[in-house]
Amino acid sequence: MREAVYALIGTRKGCFIFESDSKRRKWKVRGPFFESSSVFHMAFDRRDEKTIYAAVNCSHFGPTIFRSRNFGRTWKQAKRPPRFSEGSGLKVDNVWHITPGHSNESDVVFAGTAPGALFRSSDGGETWDLNEGLDKHPSRSKWVPGAGGLCLHSIVLDPHNLKRMYIGISAVGVFKSEDAGESWTTKNTNVRADFLPTKYPEFGQCVHKLIMDPTNPQHLFQQNHCGVYRSDNAAESWVDISKGLPSRFGFPMASHPRKSGQLYVVPEEGDFFRVVSNREFAVYATSTAGKRWKKLDKGLPNHNAYLGCYREGLASDSLEPSGLYAGTRMGHVFSSNNEGKVWSVLAQWLPPVYSVSTATLS
């Protein structure tokens, strides 16, 4: 059976759609779309296998969400994009992340914005409503933005429990809901906040990316400002799994589509020198949920590479063997069609790459 794979690349100057077959050796590109805007994230909807959502942020005309049902040939803007209510004193700066809802809720889509807010659409992205439970969380008045602002960049749904979901907000931490978003509880136990007077506060941790194990929804992982962490108990507590990495610091994180405990990160030197560790661009992989890490760098720039990835800059595809994709702040996209054993340049000289995501069709 012929399969098509798409690499969806959001950049500072619009987004691009790269298309290939299951071999993933030759790629065709379309775009840019929305070239006068930054595209922070793109999400493929596996429920209908045709819709792509794009978080489009324009310096002049503000943030919005577009959707395409034909892989970018035409796009439709939300009639009512994510916005706070008038008089709230808040306004949406950017849309950071989009996550399609559960498989049995075909028109539900979630979006994360800055300043830290969750929005939900129940009509396939046409109109968006603020999640009041998070907006009225008692801790909200104490949230203090970091350099990245208060972006809500991770939305994780438990596929086995329709009422359980998680979010990650930069400089605030991880929250969990057990009632489909009606109420939220902070979940940052054992996660360091080295930049605060209290090293282990209830909230204030700077989660950079939060993901779920593909086969075990009790297991979550986060790349944090202050380390890489695993939870074995649905975010009730976290274990530091940074040992074996060249740095605790980094932004993106991705999982293998099928293998439990297999995930990927791109370590960077640190907070005040945001380039890849040792100036070697490398993806680090674990197949043991963080007990051991392996460097994957064959074919990647490994000398004087002053590169780095934004938080959405790493993704896997669902083919066999799985493909990996890493986009850089300097406009490269590196790809591997064999789970990171060997890498090649999929694209270069793009605008700074803000996000990489994938879609696979058979």
Partner 1 sequence: MDHGLVQLRIIVTIPSALRSYTKNNSEIGLVASTLEEVLMKLNKRFPGFWSLLVDEDGSLRKYVNIFVNENDIRNKTGLATTLKDGDRVRIVPSVAGGCLNCE
Q: How far is the CB of 64 from partner 1 (least distance, A)?
A: 7
Among 91, 142, 199, 294, binds partner 1 (CB under 8 A): 91
- The footprint of partner 1 on this chain (CB under 8 A) covers a number of residues equal to 22
Q: Does 88 contact partner 1 by CB under 8 A?
A: yes
Let me know the angle formed at the C-alpha of 139 by 135 and 142, rounded to the nearest 5 degrees: 105
Q: Determine, following the binding rule CB under 8 A, whether residue 92 of this chain makes contact with partner 1.
A: yes
Euclidean distance between CA atoms 92 and 115, whole angstroms: 6
Q: How far is CA 359 from the centre of its chain?
A: 15
**Is 306 a binder of partner 1 (CB under 8 A)?**
no
What is the smallest separation between the CB atom of 134 and partner 1, expressed in angstroms?
A: 17
The dihedrals phi and psi of 134, each to the nearest 5 degrees, come to: -75, -40
**196 Cβ partners below 8 Å, 6+ apart?**
204
Does 143 bind partner 1 (CB under 8 A)? Our answer is: no
Binder among 5, 17, 43, 78 for partner 1 (CB under 8 A) = 78
Site map (CB under 8 A) of partner 1, residues 112-141, x = contact: ------------------------------
Burial 21-40 (b: 16+ CB within 10 A, else e): ebebeebeeebbbbeebbbb
Q: Does 89 bind partner 1 (CB under 8 A)?
A: yes
319 token code pair? 């083919």
Q: Does 302 bind partner 1 (CB under 8 A)?
A: no
Is the separation of the CB atoms in 216 and 158 below 8 Å? no
What is the rounded CA–CA span in Å between residue 360 and residue 176? 29
Which of 14, 31, 32, 81 touches partner 1 (CB under 8 A)? 81
3-state SS, residue 43:
strand
Answer yes or no whether residue 36 interacts with partner 1 by CB under 8 A: yes
- Each residue 180-219 as x (binds partner 1 by CB under 8 A) or -, in order, gives ----------------------------------------
Rule CB under 8 A: which residues touch partner 1?
36, 58-62, 64, 77-81, 83-92
